[in-house]
Structure 1
Amino acid sequence: MEIQKPAMAGTLESSDAQVTVAPGSNGIELTLESSVMNQYGRQIKATVLSVLEGLGVQNAKIKVVDKGALDCTLKARVECAVFRSNGISAQNVPWGGVIK
């Protein structure tokens, strides 16, 4: 899947994450800010990259501002931002079925 336009999902509330995606041309460019970077930074990065790989995203600029979100929340936010960037509506989207 290709990132068509900038899109965002999530909030900056505690236990959530705000994910912003934009078109890119040099592979995945990931920027990560997290209140738990020292403890979970590598796991957050691995989760985001895994979701992007599962969706077939190869070129994108991704910014994640994490406020202590669980893996399932991170997965949902990345998936939603990618779908929004492609203008895919809630209709006929296999929410939760794309990411295993």
Structure 2
Amino acid sequence: MELKVVAKAGTLESSDIQIIIEPDNDGIDIELSSTVMAQFGEQIESVIRETLNSLGIKNAKILANDKGAIDPVIISRVHTAVYRSAQSTDFKWV
């Protein structure tokens, strides 16, 4: 899947995460801000990377602003942002 435009998913509400994704050519770059960074920062970044990998995304810049989201919410927000960026309507629900 090829990223085409900057896209966003999620909110800044409690228990959510806002994902902004943009096309890039230098691998995966994640900039993470989280209210629970000390406890779960590595896990959040790992979930983002695994989700991008499952979608075949090799190059992207990700800005993630987490407000305590659980893993399924993180996964869904990354999926949504990727599909919006790729301007795809061919959804593969998991």
> Shorter-normalised TM-score: what interval?
over 0.9
Q: Which SS does the other structure have where 1:56 is aligned?
A: coil
**Pairwise CA distance, 1:80:** 0.4
Among all aligned residue pairs of Structure 1 and Structure 2, give the percentage whose two residues are the same amino acid.
45
Partner residue in 2 for 1:83: 83
Give the TM-score taking structure 2 as reference length.
0.96
Measured on the aligned residues, the alpha-carbon RMSD in Å equals 0.8
The alpha carbon displacement at 1:15 in A equals 0.1
SS in 2 for 1:13: coil
1:7 corresponds in structure 2 to 7
Structure 1 runs (4+) deviating above 6 angstroms are none
Alpha-carbon distance in 2 for matches of 1:17, 1:48: 11
What are the Cα deviations for residues 63-94 of structure 1, in whole angstroms up to 9, with x where unaligned? 100000000000000000000001123xx412
Q: 1 CA distance for matches of 2:17 and 2:82?
A: 14
The answer for the alignment partner of 2:36 in structure 1 is 36
How many residues align? The count is 94
Gaps of 5+ in 1: none
Runs (5+) with no aligned partner, structure 2: none
Residue 94 of structure 1: aligned partner: 92
Any idea what SS the aligned residue of 1:20 has?
Answer: strand
